[in-house]
Amino acid sequence: MLTLRMLWIGVLALACACAHAQPGPVVALNFAGVISPASAEYIDRGLARAEREKAQLVVLTLDTPGGLDTSMRKIVQDVLASPIPVVTYVAPSGARAASAGTFILYASHVAAMAPGTNVGAASPVSIGLTPPAASGEKDDKKREPDTHERKAMQDAAAYIRSLAQLRGRNVEWAEKAVTEAASLSAEEAKSQKVIDVVAADANDLRAQIDGRRIAVAGGERTLQLAGASTIAFEPDWHFRVLAIITDPSVAMILMLLGVYGLLFELGNPGLVFPGVMGAVSLLLGLYALHLLPVNYAGLALMGLGLAFMVAELFVPAYGSLGIGGIVAFVVGAMMLIDTEMPGFTIPWTLIASLAIATAVFVFVVVRMAIRARRRPIVSGVTSLVGADGEMLDDATDTGWANIRGETWQVTTDGRVARGQKVRVVAVDGVMLRVAPAGPDVR
């Protein structure tokens, strides 16, 4: 029994020694740009990769001017729920964690910045800060925020206060970052306990936090970074595709291409390709709009504008429906994205171009389809007059020919040879009369 106990103690000691000799890896994420659904997806996948790799730390190098509130909150939720410590490192020098980036920095288990970086200006963009007084106006005439703006401001302020209290950081300044758009440099943020570390580079960061005990979801972890390997998690094709289609301009173009394709297919049944590409484009566009802050009144106006333009071709409204449709389309496109965040607005030049292209498409392509549907339809055997075919045997009076993929008994006034090209010139009952269409091509 004593021998077994000593053996068991030896195995445990060996396991501990191995664990100490091979610390868990560090997963490195790197994001620069506007916080969007694509960046939220990238960070979520990065944290999942860290769990699969049994990493001891995630380092998120961040440089952002801000972004969408919904995407920011998704990232914050992922960080708060992570069983692996997350360090947000604002770097390199010249980078910033503004607006939504401030919330992410506050939510992280360790907040770090490189020298020459800044944090703050976290006021919600949609509420708009009070503009400076125009020349000749007094400051006491500044516009007071309405109820909606005050609600958005107070919600954001309460949210960042809760994050500051959770991480033991400066609560008072966090609220000022939202209500007064306050901003700090890296050294100022460190002295005011907004961040934990000022590090010159990634190696300096690791050296400063090595051995730190960090409380995470589900327990507490002690960092052992000496000799730990680094796994870089780079954005993959999934991130790139999502980043492209969630650009509001691209999403709107995809949606309109889908409408164009389906209208073209309905006007010309049987082409298939326009319908397939239209359906794919429309679904991609709608999926992208689902991830973006869409104003559904704007989307409804765009649909109404398209309907008016199509109705102009059926109803003699003397252009009023068409003009009204174009106006509704333009207004709806301007209202489509419900945010003023830079990077998520649709340029007015693109809106004007798409409105003109849509009007031209509807008035040209749809009108052609209507005219084609109104043509008299010739059906039956008489519709084969003028069709070309090929003789299936030699004939001097009657024989057999392939006409439009079907085998017909035909009559001829002269000799025709097998394989010779012929043309239907008349219909005699249920038989076709043919004549040589050209020289023998055998």
- Give 44-61 pLDDT, tens digit per residue: 999 999 999 999 999 999
- Tell whether 241 is covered by a domain: no
**Comparing 8-12, 35-39, 266-270, 411-415, which segment has the lowest mean pLDDT?**
8-12
- For residues 107 and 231, membership in a common domain is answered with yes
- For residues 153 and 190, membership in a common domain is answered with yes
Q: Which of 327, 347, 374 is the last residue of a domain?
A: 374
- Tell whether 267 is covered by a domain: yes
- Tell whether 442 is covered by a domain: no
* CATH (domain of 412): 2.40.50.140
- For residues 356 and 388, membership in a common domain is answered with no
What is the mean pLDDT of the segment spanning 284-297? 83
Q: In the Cβ-directed half-sphere of 404, how many Cα atoms lie within 13 Å?
A: 9
- Tell whether 255 is covered by a domain: yes
Decide: 267 and 372 in contact? Cβ < 8 Å. yes
Instruction: Please report the pLDDT score of residue 319 as a whole number.
Output: 66
- For residues 168 and 251, membership in a common domain is answered with no
* CATH (domain of 51): 3.90.226.10
Decide: 390 and 401 in contact? Cβ < 8 Å. yes
Cα Rg of the chain, angstroms: 35
Q: Is 254 exposed, middle or buried (0-12, 13-18, 19+ CB in 10 A)?
A: buried
What is the mean pLDDT of the segment spanning 327-342? 79
**Is the four-CA dihedral 283, 288, 292, 295 of positive or negative sign?**
negative
Q: Is 69 exposed, middle or buried (0-12, 13-18, 19+ CB in 10 A)?
A: buried
- Tell whether 11 is covered by a domain: no
- Tell whether 7 is covered by a domain: no
- For residues 402 and 367, membership in a common domain is answered with no
- Give 116-139 pLDDT, tens digit per residue: 999 988 887 643 333 344 444 444
- For residues 203 and 297, membership in a common domain is answered with no
- For residues 347 and 387, membership in a common domain is answered with no
Instruction: Please report the pLDDT score of residue 61 as a whole number.
Output: 95
Model confidence at 438, pLDDT cuts 50, 70, 90, reads low
- For residues 292 and 308, membership in a common domain is answered with yes
Q: Which region, left, alpha or beta, applies to residue 343 given φ > 0 means left and ψ of -120 to 50 means alpha?
A: left
What is the mean pLDDT of the segment spanning 76-84? 93
What are the structure tokens assigned to 69, written together? 């509130």
Partners of 427 in the β-ladder: 432
Cα separation values, 366 from 166, 259, 326, Å: 60, 12, 16
- For residues 226 and 120, membership in a common domain is answered with yes
Number of domains within the chain: 3
Predicted model pTM: 0.68
- Give 255-286 pLDDT, tens digit per residue: 888 888 887 777 677 777 888 888 888 888 88
pLDDT at 208 over 70: yes
Distance CA(331)–CA(404), nearest Å, equals 51
- Tell whether 67 is covered by a domain: yes
Decide: 153 and 124 in contact? Cβ < 8 Å. yes
What's the domain range around 424? 381-436
Most confident of 92-101, 255-264, 291-300: 92-101
- For residues 226 and 263, membership in a common domain is answered with no
Distance CA(290)–CA(300), nearest Å, equals 14
Q: Which of 209, 236, 263 is the last residue of a domain?
A: 236
Strands (E), 129-288: 183-185, 197-198, 213-216, 219-222, 230-233
- Phi, then psi, of 268 in degrees rounded to 5: -135, 70
- For residues 125 and 171, membership in a common domain is answered with yes
- Tell whether 17 is covered by a domain: no
pLDDT at 104 over 90: yes
Cα separation values, 292 from 18, 31, 288, 337, Å: 48, 19, 6, 7
Residue 45 identity (one-letter amino acid): R
Q: What percent of the chain has pLDDT over 70?
A: 81
**Is the four-CA dihedral 276, 281, 282, 286 of positive or negative sign?**
positive
- For residues 31 and 98, membership in a common domain is answered with yes
Model confidence at 176, pLDDT cuts 50, 70, 90, reads very high
Q: Which of 374, 391, 419 is the last residue of a domain?
A: 374
Distance CA(1)–CA(6), nearest Å, equals 9
Q: Identify the DSSP state of 319.
A: T
Cβ–Cβ contacts within 10 Å for residue 243, how many?
Answer: 19
Strands 230-233 and 406-412: unpaired
Distance CA(275)–CA(87), nearest Å, equals 48
